[in-house]
Structure 1
Amino acid sequence: MMVEHDRHRAGGSYQAYPGEPPRSRDNALRRFIGGSPTAVFLRLLFLSVLVGALMAMLGLTPGQLFWHAYDSARALIDLGLATFHDFGGWILAGAVVVVPLWFVSRLFATSK
């Protein structure tokens, strides 16, 4: 009888012996979803019932949550764009003063 660590080859990947069913795909699925598919399904079902009951008690619907998230994201984007618009205005207002002063200072610096 082989010990589990004897089945690993160089590089750490699992190698099945002839006649042994491949298990790497099943293990990858279990690692990805966080356990056996049945157990994960039952946990998700239980949590879905709890969250659904809580939402029903609060009078919330999935549509309301979606539109609230959409409106919040839209407001953040609009705020960010308004900030860039204001920042651009500050740059232009400062450039109206700074660039001519810089130009005049360069004219006087070259006349020496």
Structure 2
Amino acid sequence: MQEGFLGRFLGGPPTAVAFRLILLSILVGVVLAALGLDPANILRSVERLFRGVWEMGWDAVSWVWRYFLLGAVIVLPIWFVARLVKSGSRQAR
């Protein structure tokens, strides 16, 4: 079947392309709604999204730092003693 200019321009039959675009638009809309974006006020929604990610990022850093310190209190002294014991056994040989 010979495609006309519109078919070549769109990359396929116009009805099939329109159907794919509609499905893709719905999918993207669901994802954006899940992220909290509002189509009526897209700029404020994008700003709120980035602010939320930024704040969540710092909360995550704080959370990781707390567990790092808790683990480091145990891990680092054990590592240091193990290194001292290993270096002492090398010198004794």
TM range, normalised to the smaller chain?
0.3 to 0.5
TM-score, reference length from structure 2: 0.45
Bigger share in helix: 2
TM-score, reference length from structure 1: 0.39
Greater Rg over alpha carbons, structure? 1
Q: Which has the higher contact order (CA 8 A, sep 6+)?
A: 2
